[in-house]
Amino acid sequence: MLLLAVDTATPAVTVALHDGTSVVAESGQVDARRHGELLLPAVDRVLAEAGVKLDAVTDVVVGVGPGPYTGLRVGLVTAATFGSALSVPVHGLCTLDGLAYAAGQDGLEGPFAVATDARRKEVYWARYEDFRTRATEPAVDRPADLAEQLAGLPVVGAGAVLYPEAFPDARGPEHVCAGALAALAAERLAAGAELLPPQPLYLRRPDAQVPKNYKVVTPK
Amino acid sequence: MADEPLVLGIETSCDETGVGIVRGTTLLADAVASSVDTHARYGGVVPEIASRAHLEAMVPTIERALKEAGISARDLDGISVTAGPGLAGALLVGVSAAKAYAYALNKPLYGVNHLASHICVDQLEHGPLPEPTMALLVSGGHSSLLLAPDITNDVRPLGATIDDAAGEAFDKIARVLNLGFPGGPVIDRLAKEGDPKAIAFPRGLSGSRDPAYDFSFSGLKTSVARWIEAKRAAGEEVPVRDVAASFQEAVVDVLTRKAVRACKDEGVDHLMVGGGVAANSRLRALAEERCERAGIRLRVPRPGLCTDNGAMVAALGAEMVARGRPASDLELSADSSLPVTDTHVPGAHAHDHDHVHEISKDNLYS
Ligand SMILES: [Zn+2]
């Protein structure tokens, strides 16, 4: 088994290769505006570091978000295209689950919550019983509206760090790393669990307004 | 192989997810998934809706094109993709897919210009482009007159719209007339039953002191809207067919007149008309008539190749391969305002041996 994992749902562009037992190579860069430019060179670097070619990959794993739209799609379309070109399965994982798993690897015990930056003064978040077990569906909300229900819980991720008044016990890691995502996927696949389809979790409707009647141009 | 490269092209600059496959100047497949119906209720293309639709349609459309062409992806000589201009988020989906595909198959990647692709697509219909080619590109996003001595690395803007694109004017007038979105096809249809001389709408930038090759459709649009409003205010019925025909005539009159003039001024004996508005039947007819009178050969691809599609991107990609143009690198980014003079986006370390051409590229505005 050789998993290639990518995630572009947060400001991080992260890629990892995992052989079913451990992470073989990994790359993480934080640049919210350059997902499109950074992802493929990162994949190339990670494969080169591991000394393998892309066609050795048996499974592609991708973070499906939730995440701000434009960057999120870079990872998803890249994973889907690899899957099609290589005829290998593409598995989706919730990006928040990857962050929770990374926090667990760093020693955080449950319960806790994960929050990433959703922009527009909101966070994407979910609550976890422990680092492998999500207790709520991912959602998008204003930090102030969550402060009460998450009171007393450590909150992991950049979404927590950004809003210290709402999340006084904010923790790292701030961004997801593909190594954690790959490790979680390897664990779930080995246990015969179903992963998600590689489809985006936007959690918001597209901004689209039906134009009002056309503007009258005759001067009144 | 170099003469007739097998290339897959991806186009996602607006609301069509297009994947085309060509062998040299032969079209093998043209798969398109459109989100236009989803945008109709908004009266225009909504960028986020377009981007979401591209992500969903991308891989299925690639697979459909390969099946249609009956080729194996392993046999491709290159992958080309629209790098710009277009909607940033929409372009990014296509560019990301093209990079992943090129990388997975170990094929060269060519990020190419959307406007140059609109011109190059005619090679699939009428064979190799004459050099130079004069091109009139008209769509919802662009209205330009371009002189193309070499479609792979020398495209010169002679003129463009200074306000609305021609297709935008069709959409806006359709909205004033409550005809829905997009406006082009419905106005074309109604105009056939109307009198193009019924109402004398203004011809923008057609005075002797106006720029010879630039266009303006904003004044026309206002004038048509005002005429309709006056009828409505007087409680009279709006003669929709005559308005459509007279408006359409004003647009295509200016477009074809200026295009033919540019051909004469530059001594070019071929005119290529492309872009979504080139599907308009009156534009095609009037261009035909005026070109014939001026001794110019008109080249207009069939309507399906005028609107945005992947075949046009593949056609330009194949020409890039055939002429040995440098490939793009994996850092290729989508550029929503890629200038028309950038026919393609070579990688940072690429060289083009054709330096003479680069240097002789004079700026026609200076
Ligand atoms: Zn176009």
Q: Are residues B145 and B262 in the same domain?
A: yes
Q: How far is CA B321 from the centre of its chain?
A: 21
Spatial distance between the Cα atoms of B16 and B249, rounded to a whole number of angstroms: 28
Under the banding of pLDDT at 50, 70 and 90, the label for residue B3 is: confident
pLDDT over 80 (residue A165): yes
pLDDT value, residue B40: 81
Q: Which of A193-197, B34-38, B56-60, B72-76 has the lowest mean pLDDT?
A: B34-38
Dihedral of the CA atoms B314, B316, B319, B325 (nearest 10)?
A: -110
Q: Tell me which of B282, B299, B316 is where a domain ends.
A: B299
- Of the candidates B36, B77, B9, the one whose C-alpha atom is nearest the C-alpha of residue B315 is B9
Q: Are residues B143 and B22 in the same domain?
A: no
- Show residues of chain B in contact with A77, CB under 8 Å: 54-55, 58-59, 93, 96-97, 100
Number of domains chain B contains? 2
Mean pLDDT of B319-341: 96
pLDDT value, residue B187: 97
CA distance B69 to chain A (A): 16
pLDDT over 50 (residue B358): no
A30: left (phi over 0), alpha (psi -120 to 50) or beta: beta
- Of the candidates A41, A65, A64, A50, the one whose C-alpha atom is nearest the C-alpha of residue A17 is A50
pLDDT value, residue B39: 84
Q: Which of A16-30, A141-155, B37-51, B179-193 has the lowest mean pLDDT?
A: B37-51
Is B141 marked within a binding site?
Answer: yes
Helix (H), strand (E) at residue B79: strand B78-84
Mean pLDDT of B240-251: 97
pLDDT per residue as tens digits for the range B59-108: 999 999 999 999 999 999 999 999 999 999 999 999 999 999 999 999 99
Q: Is the peptide bond before A41 cis (omega within 30 degrees of 0)?
A: no
Q: Which of A91-100, B181-190, B306-315, B346-355 has the lowest mean pLDDT?
A: B346-355
Helix (H), strand (E) at residue B276: none
Spatial distance between the Cα atoms of B144 and B160, rounded to a whole number of angstroms: 4
Q: Inter-chain contact B99–A74, Cβ cutoff 8 Å?
A: no
- Show residues of chain A in contact with B99, CB under 8 Å: 40, 78
B226 Cα: distance to centroid of ligand 1 (angstroms): 29
CB B155 within 8 A of CB B146: yes
Q: Are residues B186 and B236 in the same domain?
A: yes
pLDDT over 70 (residue B9): yes
Q: Report ipTM for this prediction.
A: 0.95
Q: What is the pTM of this model?
A: 0.93
* pLDDT > 70 fraction of chain B, expressed in percent and rounded: 95
- CATH number, position B52: 3.30.420.40
Helices (H) and strands (E) in chain B — how many of each? Answer: 13, 10
Question: Is residue B352, in this structure, part of any structural domain at all?
Answer: no
Q: Does A82 touch chain B (CB under 8 A)?
A: yes
List the domain range (segments joined by +) for residue B143.
131-299
pLDDT over 80 (residue B357): no
Q: Are residues B193 and B232 in the same domain?
A: yes
Mind spelling out the 3-state secondary structure of B88-121? HHHHHHHHHHHHHHHHHHCCCEEEEEHHHHHHHC
Q: Are residues B139 and B287 in the same domain?
A: yes
Q: Are residues B162 and B278 in the same domain?
A: yes
Q: Are residues B215 and B275 in the same domain?
A: yes
Q: Inter-chain contact A86–B230, Cβ cutoff 8 Å?
A: no
Mind spelling out the 3-state secondary structure of B222-264? HHHHHHHHHHHHCCCCCCHHHHHHHHHHHHHHHHHHHHHHHHH
Dihedral of the CA atoms B300, B319, B337, B57 (nearest 10)?
A: 80
Is B139 marked within a binding site?
Answer: yes
Mean pLDDT of A57-79: 95
Place of tokens 């699939």: B124
Question: Is residue B348, in this structure, part of any structural domain at all?
Answer: no
Question: Is residue B357, in this structure, part of any structural domain at all?
Answer: no
Question: Is residue B272, in this structure, part of any structural domain at all?
Answer: yes
